[in-house]
Amino acid sequence: MFAVLRDLIRYNIEFAIGLVLVGIVVVFASLSFFAPVDPSLIYMTIPDQPPSPQFWFGTNSRGQDMFWQLSAAFRNSLVFGITVAVLSRIISITVGLLSGYVGGWVDRVLMFINDIFVAVPIFPVLVLFYFVLRNNLDSLTLALIMACFGWPFDARLIRSVALGLKHREFTRHATFAGMSTRKILLEEHLPYVMPIVFSTFMNNMLWSIGLEVTLAVLGFTNINNPTIGTVLYWANSHSAMVVGVWWWIVIPVILIVMTFLGLFLLAISMNEYIDPRSRLRRMGA
């Protein structure tokens, strides 16, 4: 495990950059555990102060210290992304492995459902849920809904690997040894798809955090819960750019770009690591 990590850092500059970027954001987000103020309270400091030694990231027009505000916002958004990714990974592993191994009509039915989910545009559906639930739409509910839409691409990917595994020698041995289907899938096949699961995990986080930002910026989530999106929502609703409180927008945007770039670089470098041909090319073999 550590050898893999060391190789990745040494030979893959993208992985190293991604790790640094995500590392900075994660450390910044976990600082919120030591926050001296409750991030949901407003008018706690002098509003509209530019960045200074006292307020590193300035303060916003709602009288919040942007440093602690953003720290809490990134923590909430990262937790949200991880929740969606874990839940949707469970669905995609189940569907992918089952569909690839069992085959037949199970495969056809599951892939049919899969194709339907791929074709449904998610954004209008999420807006619909907000329209119906209004302020009952908290982070956990939103994560559940998004997990229900975030699995089909990856399920197909896992299925294609499982199809190959099905005809391998060890699967046949396991079957003859009398292992149950559940056991074969969990103990024999799951380790083979784990690299894909990790790389799609990052991609899924990107996707879900991006959608959450979008929904929140439009005001379609619980706007009192600090997330990356709601910080921008409040900045917009106070016309921060027009009033000249630029740090309220520019600093979050820089941090967002760092997060997304970092996660994306991790995802593609892991993807490349899975494909041995490109890994050898990179190591100069």
**Closest separation in Å from C-beta 185 to another protein:** 25
**Closest separation in Å from C-beta 250 to another protein:** 9
- Per the listing, tokens 């790389």 go with 199
**Closest separation in Å from C-beta 249 to another protein:** 8
Residues 147/126, Cβ–Cβ less than 8 Å: no
**Closest separation in Å from C-beta 206 to another protein:** 6
Q: Which residues bind another protein (CB under 8 A)?
A: 112, 115-116, 118-125, 127-134, 153, 206, 209-211, 213-214, 217-218, 220, 232, 241, 249, 253, 256-257, 260-261, 263-265, 268
> In a 10 Å sphere around its CB, with 0-12 CB exposed, 13-18 middle and 19+ buried, how is residue 120 labelled?
exposed
The counts of H helices and E strands in the chain are 14, 0
Task: Decide whether 4 or 116 has the Cβ nearer to another protein.
Answer: 116
3-state secondary structure of 179: coil
Task: Decide whether 103 or 210 has the Cβ nearer to another protein.
Answer: 210
Measuring CA to CA, how many Å separate 60 from each of 2, 46, 234, 244, 248? 43, 9, 9, 11, 6
**Closest separation in Å from C-beta 86 to another protein:** 20
Structure tokens at 234: 């409040």
**Closest separation in Å from C-beta 128 to another protein:** 5
Task: Decide whether 55 or 130 has the Cβ nearer to another protein.
Answer: 130
Structure tokens at 12: 């893959």
**Calpha distance 93→210 (Å, rounded):** 23
3-state secondary structure of 59: strand
Task: Decide whether 43 or 131 has the Cβ nearer to another protein.
Answer: 131
Task: Decide whether 97 or 232 has the Cβ nearer to another protein.
Answer: 232
Total Cβ atoms within 10 A of residue 108: 11
Task: Decide whether 55 or 220 has the Cβ nearer to another protein.
Answer: 220
**Closest separation in Å from C-beta 15 to another protein:** 13
Q: Which residues contact 226 (CB under 8 A, 6 or more apart)?
A: 39, 40, 69, 72, 73, 76
**Closest separation in Å from C-beta 66 to another protein:** 18
Among 110, 93, 104, residue whose Cα is nearest residue 155: 93
Residue 253's Cα: distance from chain center in Å? 17
Task: Please tell me what DSSP assigns to residue 138.
Answer: -
Task: Decide whether 85 or 206 has the Cβ nearer to another protein.
Answer: 206
Task: Decide whether 43 or 123 has the Cβ nearer to another protein.
Answer: 123
